[in-house]
Structure formats: C-alpha cells, structure tokens
C-alpha cells in the first residue's frame, strides 16, 4: 500500500507543479499559488485515503482549499493519514521566475506530524554524514567546524544555505568570518533543507529562521533520509505563545528534535520541481506537453525515487496523464 501511495503522491505534486509553472515570471504569486492548490486538491481526491490536512494553506477562514482540518482523498475505507502540504513553496520565486520553487507534501499516520502553527522556527539541518554533529544552541563556528570534519572538508569548502533576511545579518556575518561559502535564498527553505541529505546537491548545511510549517515538511524528508534537523519555535506575540501551548508544547521555546516533529517510519515525502533548483529540475514545456522532475521518499524502506515524467497536455490540461521513467 505504501509503495502505491508513494507514486500516487508523486502525481499530486506533479499536478501542482504543472499548474503553477504556467505562471512563472508573470508577476502574480497569488494566481500561481491558487493554480497549484486547486490542482493538488483535485488530484488528492483521486486517491483512496482518508487524509486530514494538518499543515496547509491556512485556517478554514483563510483558505478555500487545503485548509487545516480539511479532509482529502476518496475515503472508502482507505488508510487514515495526516497530510502536510505546500502546493507552491516559493510563491515569489515563481512570480519572478527565479530558482528553487517546488510543490511538496508529506504524509504520515494520524498523530505523527507536529501540527506546527503558522509562525517562525529557528532551524539547523544536515545530511546523514553529519548527523550527531550539530546543536542549535552551539556557536555558529562550532557547528561549521564539526560539520566540515564529519564531511571530510575544510570549513572553506562548506556551502551554507540561509534565507536572505535582515534577521540573519549576524548569522551571515559569522559564517563569512569563519570562511564558509554561503548561498543566500530569497524564499523557500524546504528544498535546500532536503538537499543537505544529497552529497551532489552542493548544499552541506542549512541554518536560520523560516516558517514552522515548512520546517515540519522538511523534517519528514530528513527523517526518511537519515539526516538531522533541530528546530525551535519563535513565537513573537502572546497569542502565538498560547497557540504553542494549545498544541501541547508547555515550553514554546523547547528544542524540537526530529522525533518531536515527525514520529514513526510510516512517512512519505514527495516534491516536484517548478523552477530549477539544487535538487530538482523545474517544469519544462514542450510542443507535446511538459516534463517534470520529482523525488519521492519512503521512510519505512528509505527508498528514494527520482521520477522524470513526460506529460501529454491537451488544450485543457489533464495533469493526471502521462508516462514516466524512473531513475
């Protein structure tokens, strides 16, 4: 069943990527996000699961589709799953035609995904070879030295991904002083977090403050891949503090380990590139249709599939149709 679901979920992220890619560079991030969300929702409803969105586009009054608490799937006695989605991770990226946008989801048994509120999370992420060598409270320089040693590199050879935000001024400065190379990204930290687990991606470590929901989605992949991720929520108001406690975190600022964010091995992660990035190629339209590049990861077996799919698109797109080859 999980093997079949993994491929079904690939169809879900492919549909979202194909829909949003039509808006690349057109300056309308909302239209791109709406297209991805609509396509992802429609494809979910072809799969025999009883899914509940626990991380989505927002609360019911904020999002018409894929809102937190929404039911997805055909039902019909299918397996009950918690679903975390980001139909378009990198709305500004697509609107501006930049690199690194993806359509992504994670699924796990009911109760196994942290229901992260929509607030900030401080994160540090590495791949399997550097697991056990980081701590979110350690000095930046210590983390860099430990990761470099684990990877058999000099600090000057490390590549660190950080969101380009004023709040990261000190983090960026300390990484540069230590000699590490830095990739500053404008948006979308799920893809680079996952890329840390792939030696040929060019990403060794990701640090900094980004969205908490995106952190849980990335944690699902990192758990499957054997890497390490630590996080800490960053509530900025009393209301956000209260939301943390309502979700069971008595100490909203406790360190969150992978087991706190994703439990069990019944996890599936799927992502399709929308624009070219370090891990996935973006959607390419041709005279016959379109080509997508997807990664699907199963926690139970550790299987990683990269799917290079060719889709025949009619005048009215049929995102569920195509043929694919697996690498």
Binding residues for Mn(2+): 33, 57, 86, 89, 214
Residues placed in the known binding site for substrate: 89-91, 120, 165-167, 187-189, 211
Residue that is written with structure tokens 């979700």 in the block: 247
Nearest Cα residue to 117 out of 24, 227, 248: 248
Partnered with residue 285 across adjacent β-strands are: 290
Residues placed in the known binding site: 33, 57, 86, 89-91, 120, 165-167, 187-189, 211, 214
């Amino acid at each position: 069943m999980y093997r079949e679901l993994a491929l079904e979920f690939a169809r879900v992220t492919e549909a979202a990527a194909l829909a949003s890619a039509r808006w690349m560079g057109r300056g309308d991030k909302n239209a791109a996000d709406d297209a991805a969300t609509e396509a992802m929702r429609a494809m979910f409803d072809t799969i025999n699961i009883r899914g509940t969105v626990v991380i989505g586009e927002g609360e019911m009054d904020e999002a018409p589709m894929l809102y937190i608490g929404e039911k997805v799937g055909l039902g019909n006695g299918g397996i009950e799953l918690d679903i975390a989605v980001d139909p378009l991770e990198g709305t500004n990226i697509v609107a501006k035609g930049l690199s690194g946008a993806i359509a992504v989801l994670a699924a796990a048994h009911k109760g196994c995904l942290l229901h992260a509120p929509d607030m900030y999370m401080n994160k540090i992420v590495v791949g399997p070879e550097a697991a056990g060598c980081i701590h979110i409270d350690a000095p930046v320089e210590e983390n860099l030295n430990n990761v470099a040693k684990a990877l058999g590199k000099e600090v000057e050879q490390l590549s660190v991904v950080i969101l380009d935000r004023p709040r990261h001024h000190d983090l960026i400065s300390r990484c540069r002083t230590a000699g590490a190379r830095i990739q500053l990204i404008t948006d979308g930290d799920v893809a680079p977090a996952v890329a840390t687990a792939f030696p040929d991606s060019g990403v060794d470590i990701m640090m900094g403050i980004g969205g908490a929901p995106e952190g849980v989605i990335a944690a699902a992949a990192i758990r499957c891949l054997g890497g390490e991720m630590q996080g800490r929520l960053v509530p900025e108001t009393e209301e956000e503090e209260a939301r943390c406690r309502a979700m069971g975190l008595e100490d909203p600022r406790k360190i969150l380990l992978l087991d706190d964010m994703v439990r069990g091995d019944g996890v599936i992660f799927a992502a399709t590139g929308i624009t070219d990035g370090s891990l996935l190629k973006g959607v390419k339209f041709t005279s016959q249709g379109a080509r997508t590049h997807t990664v699907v990861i199963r926690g139970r077996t550790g299987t990683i599939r990269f799917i290079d799919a060719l889709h025949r698109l009619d005048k009215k797109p049929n995102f569920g149709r195509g043929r694919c080859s697996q690498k």
